[in-house]
Homo-oligomer: A and B are copies of this chain.
């Protein structure tokens, strides 16, 4: 009567959503100050003022028919030109507006790229820990997910395992750096070695293996950490970008896919991306926010607040004896749970202390919890005694 696969996707709520629902109920019961929600990836800093100014300017100065009208399926030409100019300024690559396809955010970018490339049975390699929706997107396109475990303790890539995992059927590899949930930024060395392996394998199998750079957290890095730009290292790289995190606009659904000319058969791949968007009903990206990002292309929210949160939470948790790698980017800590079963550990934290933490299993790793620090500073302060109690419970 309906598609069983879609029903499963719709009815099996993700762990994160279940925890969220638990938190909402507890808030109703006990009030907001009694619940410590470290489960979400919703930016806690506001969009920069330039976003609001851009919306007001556009609505005051331009015709509503133009502002709210259909754009080309690829996105407004001037906006794409602005994006190209920005990429050309910032990176060692030359792109033009026709390399960009504007999308409704990173998830849409990934789905369009995945459907554009996948034939049934094609393999997609992901690096654990990974964003759980990758599996859903690849399987819905009739592809197969192959996982590569992380190199511990630094959550860089286990290159030997990576090489073993590549096969004749490998269509593409998804990299998410800075990484959700580990906060790791893949280093230049990691990227260099990984792309060397890919080049070797492309030659060996005689067909391209695409690298999908899933980069919503590119701008969310701390100190002088550099995030290698993958198209500079590997020609068959397709970039999936979103403004959800850099401009704190996750609900507005705005991002892009970039298919540089250097990609094998780039024009055909770009057409297939457009076709994938069309086949899923993505007529165009939201038109007002296309214009907004065109005006705010190099802006970014005030991420100092995330750094302050990271320093407090990382410093305090490690002082308490929790094990965790210091994250260079994104806004998550990936902390070893104090018992091997992360689900059980997070359940106890939730039920005893109203600490909402995400167990790591759905990210493809066991024995960790994801602690989001895109939250209010004072909530972290108030939660620290609870983390301390929780630690003592295991001593």
Determine whether the beta carbon of B207 is less than 8 Å from that of A272. Answer: no
Instruction: Type the 1/0 row for A250-263, where 1 means its CB is closer than 8 Å to any CB of B.
Output: 11110000000000
Q: How many copies does the complex hold?
A: 2
- Quick check: is A188 within 8 A (CB to CB) of the other chain? no
Residues 64 to 90 of chain A near chain B (Cβ within 8 Å): 64-65, 67-71
In Å, the complex CA distance between A134 and B8 comes to: 25
CB within 8 Å of B: which A81-131 residues: 104-105, 107-112, 115-119
Q: Are B286 and A286 in contact (CB under 8 A)?
A: yes
A264 to B324, CA, bound (A): 50
Q: Which residues of B contact A109 (CB under 8 A)?
A: 281
CB distance from A224 to the nearest CB of B (A): 28
A56 within 8 A of B: yes
Interface residues on A, range: 35 or more
Instruction: Verify if A7 is at the interface (C-beta below 8 Å from B).
Output: yes
Contact B289 A286 (CB under 8 A): yes
Chain B residue nearest to A110 (CB atoms) is: B281
Q: CA of A264 to CA of B1 in the docked complex: distance in angstroms?
A: 9
> In the complex, what's the smallest C-beta–C-beta distance from A370 to chain B, in angstroms?
16
Is the CB of A160 closer than 8 A to any CB of chain B? no
* Known interface pairs A43-B65, A52-B59; A116-B2 also in contact (CB < 8 Å): yes
* A interface secondary structure, majority: helix
The answer to whether A3 touches B276, judged by C-beta atoms less than 8 angstroms apart, is: yes
Q: Does A315 contact B (CB under 8 A)?
A: no
Q: Out of B44, B64, B105, B137, name the residue touching A47 (CB < 8 Å).
A: B64
- A265 beta carbon closer than 8 Å to chain B: yes
A11 at interface (Cβ–Cβ under 8 A)? yes
Identify which of residues 274-298 in chain A touch chain B, using a CB-to-CB cut-off of 8 Å.
Answer: 274-290
Which of B10, B110, B116, B286 contacts A6 (CB under 8 A)?
B116
In the complex, whether A318 has a CB less than 8 A from a CB of chain B is no
Q: Does A208 belong to the interface (CB within 8 Å)?
A: yes
**Cβ–Cβ contact A272 & B6, under 8 A:** yes
Residues of A at the B interface (CB closer than 8 Å) are 1-11, 42-47, 51-52, 55-56, 59, 63-65, 67-71, 104-105, 107-112, 115-119, 133, 136-137, 140, 207-208, 248-253, 264-265, 268-290
